[in-house]
């Protein structure tokens, strides 16, 4: 099965991981007297100095509101903001920057589609298809919109190995399906889904394809034209950029036909007491003052990733994931959820005997190791495997095999403390 692919950026000068780490000030600090080992990248990545300085430069040299002013600062800020949109469009190979909508995060992007497209098009008898491996952000909005419209919500189950049950798909994806919404990469299982194939199957029955790219876009080269997606949502803060800004890419014909999601300034063309007319794309969906500094920070993050090359990013993470998979399997009593490294992204969610994942994470934290513990906003996955929570270690461009070794030593420490 094919996975997400794209034309790669020009080859950049190869940099060592040690050199890359020097760009991230936070990695030099200590936690509880130990060097910080940051393995919580699936939740949020750290930021290089290039991103931090780009945002500082905006506030120092050009801060003003965008789109509304004719003075120098406003025009300068507007140019930087719209350049960020262009940079995002090029990064995912969108046909036009007008198809890039800035939101607060992946969650808001998916809600925008569910409410704006869903409320306008869904009706009783229609079906929305999602999967059992979705983040809550790609479950709850569809639950709410189905309740509002009378549509039925169905889901594709997952297998014992944490992959989609493709044998069940033909009976679930039918002419009644109007939306097929699915993740490109699971934030718990690490499973990489065959996006292009799933999109093609959705289109074959007349459904639109909505892709949660929160975990895939930061790690895999992504080409929305090659994938033929109708909507793709992702977040800045998971790809070296700041919090508070996300992206929705949409097919232009769909976006133009959709009603606004929020009302207010900048999303209008004309307002009268008798009614209003909406602005053109993308501004129709960007009500109020946008996250200007954050957009500039996102552009800097994309520039950084492109400088490394997304092919290098993916290769580095595959090496780390394979190494971590092998090392963690040395720990007796540890169980990893999801498929083997060749079919997964750079994260491992696991349970260690009967030790609660929060206790595992707390013990690791005492050694400066940051991991995630809980249901990771994906309770249906945990229900499927009969679990309340898991511990999750996740990797990015600045992580090293030595940090994985520290993780394993910490897990042995947890076993000893709990006499496991």
Region at 345 (left for phi over 0; alpha for psi -120 to 50; beta for the rest): beta
DSSP-assigned letter for residue 133: T
Count, residues in the chain: 420
Question: Which residues have CB under 8 Å from 182's CB, separation 6+?
Answer: 130, 131, 134, 138, 156, 164, 193, 198, 209, 210, 211, 212
Q: Which of 377, 387, 408, 420 is catalytic?
A: 377
Region at 8 (left for phi over 0; alpha for psi -120 to 50; beta for the rest): beta
Nearest-angstrom CA–CA distance, 332 and 417? 15
Nearest-angstrom CA–CA distance, 103 and 314? 26
Q: Which tokens go with 165?
A: 């049950």
- Listing DSSP states for 139-181 in one string gives THHHHHHHHHH--EEEEE-B-TTSSB-TTTHHHHS-TTEEEEE
Nearest-angstrom CA–CA distance, 151 and 147? 7
User: Which residues are paired to 276 by β-bridges?
Assistant: 271
Nearest-angstrom CA–CA distance, 381 and 187? 10
CA contacts within 13 A on the Cβ side of 358 = 4
For 89, other C-beta atoms within 10 Å of its C-beta total 19
Nearest-angstrom CA–CA distance, 263 and 302? 30
Question: 377 an active-site residue?
Answer: yes
What torsion do the CA atoms of 332, 333, 338, 342 make, to the nearest 10 degrees? 0
Catalytic positions are: 377
């Amino acid at each position: 099965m094919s996975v997400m692919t794209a034309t790669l950026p020009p080859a950049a000068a190869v940099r060592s991981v040690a050199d890359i780490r020097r760009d991230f000030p936070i990695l030099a600090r200590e936690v509880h007297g130990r060097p910080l080992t940051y393995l919580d990248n699936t939740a949020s990545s750290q930021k290089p100095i290039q991103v931090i300085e780009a945002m500082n430069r905006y506030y120092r040299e050009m801060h003003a509101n965008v789109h509304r002013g004719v003075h120098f600062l406003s025009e300068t800020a507007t140019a930087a903001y719209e350049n960020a949109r262009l940079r995002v469009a090029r990064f995912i190979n969108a046909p036009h920057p007008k198809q890039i909508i800035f939101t607060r995060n992946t969650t808001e992007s998916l809600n925008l589609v569910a409410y704006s497209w869903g409320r306008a098009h869904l009706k009783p008898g229609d079906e929305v298809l999602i999967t059992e491996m979705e983040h809550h952000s790609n479950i709850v909005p569809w639950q709410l919109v189905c309740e509002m419209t009378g549509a039925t919500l169905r889901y594709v189950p997952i297998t014992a190995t944490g992959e989609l049950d493709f044998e069940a798909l033909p009976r679930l994806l039918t002419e009644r399906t109007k939306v097929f919404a699915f993740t490109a990469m699971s934030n718990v299982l690490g499973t990489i889904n065959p996006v292009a194939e799933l999109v093609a199957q959705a289109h074959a029955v007349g459904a639109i394809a909505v892709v949660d790219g929160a975990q895939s876009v930061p790690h895999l080269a992504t080409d929305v034209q090659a994938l033929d997606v109708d909507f793709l949502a992702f977040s800045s803060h998971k790809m070296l950029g700041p919090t508070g800004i996300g992206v929705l890419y949409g097919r232009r014909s769909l976006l133009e036909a959709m009603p606004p999601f929020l009302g207010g300034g900048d999303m209008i063309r004309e307002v009268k007491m008798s009614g209003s007319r909406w602005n053109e794309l993308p501004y129709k969906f960007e009500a109020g003052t946008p996250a200007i500094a954050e957009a500039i920070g996102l552009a800097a993050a994309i520039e950084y990733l492109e400088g490394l090359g997304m092919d290098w990013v993916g290769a580095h993470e595959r090496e780390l994931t394979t190494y971590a998979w092998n090392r963690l399997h040395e720990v007796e009593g540890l169980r990893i959820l999801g498929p083997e490294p060749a079919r997964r992204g750079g994260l491992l969610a696991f349970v260690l005997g009967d030790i609660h994942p929060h206790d595992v994470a707390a013990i690791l934290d005492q050694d400066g190791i940051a991991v995630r513990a809980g249901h990771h906003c994906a309770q249906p996955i945990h229900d499927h495997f009969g679990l309340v929570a898991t511990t999750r270690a996740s990797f990015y461009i600045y992580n090293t095999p030595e940090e994985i070794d520290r993780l394993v030593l910490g897990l042995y420490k947890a076993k000893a403390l709990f006499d496991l």
